[in-house]
């Protein structure tokens, strides 16, 4: 037994070192997006590559592999619902995945994405896709090469999707999207045939300082711990964590949309609450992370939409907003505000999309990513492909690439396979919300009073504190009793928008 305890202790020491190196890399990447001058890109790429190389060496060492193999051989059932078994199983999965990719490929990838990010930022500002296209081609080439190391698979995208959603296949995502698309199109057609709601009071300039005060106030009410976090500005809102004691959120302010920053802050606060709520008993072990990216997105989408765009939330928050923005909202009624912030209107920008159209943005990106990976699409053709499918799916054509193919940070960061997790997160959020309201039917009344503690407590118990103990599909089944299911989300959308658009 002593031998097992010593091996487990050593495993956790190595895992902690890997975790710290990954946190240092995340800190460098946060700084690049928030503070770093553009001229620092080359040096930052070298710094990030150095840390990534050290983390890779730790993650694929012979010592770690031997420890995991020895400990796994001593576990009767690695699939058992047991913390120790789960820790070893996840550690083995992480090791086997890391060991498949050569060190030089990891370094090449880090350098490529670090350089690509700065090119993307400028290309987006200048509406210059051609300057970014070679970097995009290179990133997809590198990701394709990485995927090939995980053969056999039905589609190369399977290997990349597994990185974000363990157990999920490309065919599974396609099946879910095929079930969603016609039902969401049907809803959009019904909405389009109805009288449009007014949101002109939103599409104005709101003072940025007051927007920041409002967003920070709401984040605090949701439960964000400012002693373990901070707020900064970035070209594309994101959340990052360097450990439970340092979970940071970012946002951006738009000149012509006074509510964009509020909803991006609610979204990012949902992510941050998850990271702040991970169980301390799993700290710096293989379980010290979210169950998956879709589970993470379910948290951000739940707080942004189920809570933040609800009539109950508006009853609480709207008087506060009227005090902060009397010129904009002083003559607006609560019902006008609720309907206005939930206006359905096809938009060019994914992060500004309403709930009814959002998944269409994800389907477009999923189709492009899979096409670029399997060779059926080429990066140089993306602006035309993007615009054509935007017209087909949403009935609008972006006026330029800045508002089209260049809008997302993900591809410059190499996050190929990430986008489906947004739509899956939408579905899971509705499943969690239904179950939460079954358990605590008084939550809507509490939200009206500005009390969100029961929501956070339920999520802490059922999601956050479990960290990565359960694979995402197992976690969804454990909480809701079934698999990822589009029906609760479709029920939610139809109930909400039939009321708002009165059809």
Active site residues: 268
In the block, which residue shows the tokens 């993650």? 59
Q: Can you state the angle between helices 293-301 and 472-480, rounded to 10 degrees?
A: 50
Looking up tokens 């002593």 gives: 2
- Helix H or strand E encompassing 41: helix 41-59
Q: Which two tokens stand for residue 136?
A: 């995009």
Output the CA torsion sign for 147, 148, 150, 152: positive
CA dist., res. 350 & res. 162, Å (int): 23
Angle between helix 472-480 and 420-439 (nearest 10)? 20
Residue pair 286/94 in contact (Cβ under 8 Å)? The answer is yes
Length of the chain: 503
Please name the residues in contact with 127: beta carbons below 8 A apart, sequence gap of 6 or more. 400, 401, 402, 406
C-alpha angle 395-397-401 in degrees, rounded to nearest 5: 150
**CA distances in angstroms from 244 to 9, 58, 262, 303, listed in the order given:** 21, 22, 24, 20
Work out whether strand 231-233 and strand 239-241 pair parallel, antiparallel, or are unpaired.
unpaired
**Distance in angstroms (rounded) separating the CA atoms of residues 266 and 195:** 29
Which residues, including other chains, have CB under 8 Å from residue 290's CB and lie 6 or more apart? 274, 275, 278, 296, 467, 468
Residue with tokens 């992510």, as numbered in its chain: 271
């Amino acid at each position: 037994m002593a031998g097992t305890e010593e091996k487990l202790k050593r495993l956790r020491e190595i895992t902690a070192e890997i975790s710290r190196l990954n946190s240092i890399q995340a800190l460098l990447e946060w700084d690049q997006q928030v503070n770093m001058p553009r001229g620092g890109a080359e040096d930052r790429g070298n710094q990030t590559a150095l840390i990534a190389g050290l983390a890779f060496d730790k993650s694929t060492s012979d010592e770690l592999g031997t420890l995991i193999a020895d400990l796994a051989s001593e576990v009767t059932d690695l699939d058992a619902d047991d913390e120790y078994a789960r820790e070893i199983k996840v550690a083995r999965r992480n090791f086997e995945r890391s060991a498949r990719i050569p060190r030089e490929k990891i370094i090449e990838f880090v350098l490529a994405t670090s350089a690509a990010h700065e090119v993307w930022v400028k290309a987006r500002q200048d509406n210059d896709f051609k300057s970014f296209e070679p970097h995009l081609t290179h990133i997809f080439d590198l990701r394709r090469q990485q995927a090939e190391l995980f053969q056999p698979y039905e589609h190369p995208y399977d290997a990349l999707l597994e990185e974000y959603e363990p157990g999920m296949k490309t065919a599974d995502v396609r099946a879910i999207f095929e079930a969603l698309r016609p039902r969401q199109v049907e809803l959009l057609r019904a909405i389009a045939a109805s009288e449009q709601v007014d949101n002109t009071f939103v599409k104005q300039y709101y003072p940025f300082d007051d927007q920041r005060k409002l967003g920070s106030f709401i984040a605090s009410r949701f439960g964000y711990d400012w002693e373990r976090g901070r707020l900064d500005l970035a070209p594309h809102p994101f959340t990052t964590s360097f450990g439970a004691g340092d979970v940071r959120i970012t946002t951006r302010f738009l000149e012509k949309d006074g509510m964009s920053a509020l909803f991006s802050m609610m979204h990012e606060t949902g992510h941050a609450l998850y990271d702040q709520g991970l169980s301390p008993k799993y700290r710096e072990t293989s379980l010290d992370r979210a169950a998956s990216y879709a589970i993470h997105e379910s948290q951000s989408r739940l707080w942004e939409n189920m809570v933040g765009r609800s009539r109950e939330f508006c009853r609480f928050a709207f008087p506060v907003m009227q005090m902060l923005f009397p010129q904009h909202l002083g003559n607006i009624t609560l019902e006008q505000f609720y309907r206005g912030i939930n206006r359905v209107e096809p938009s060019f920008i994914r992060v500004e999309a309403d709930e009814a159209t959002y998944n269409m943005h994800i389907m477009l990106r999923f189709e492009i990513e899979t096409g670029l990976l399997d060779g059926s699409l080429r990066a140089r053709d993306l602006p035309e492909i993007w615009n054509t499918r935007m017209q087909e799916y949403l009935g609008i054509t972006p006026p330029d690439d800045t508002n089209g193919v260049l809008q997302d940070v993900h591809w410059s960061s190499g996050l190929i396979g990430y986008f489906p997790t947004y739509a899956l997160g939408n579905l899971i959020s509705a499943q969690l919300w239904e179950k939460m309201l079954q358990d605590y039917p008084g939550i809507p009344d509490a939200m009206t009073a500005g009390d969100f503690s029961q929501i956070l407590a339920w999520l802490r118990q059922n999601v956050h504190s479990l960290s990565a103990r359960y694979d995402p599909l197992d976690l969804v089944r454990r909480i809701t009793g079934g698999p990822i299911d589009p029906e609760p989300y479709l029920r939610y959308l139809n109930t909400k928008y039939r009321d708002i658009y009165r059809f």
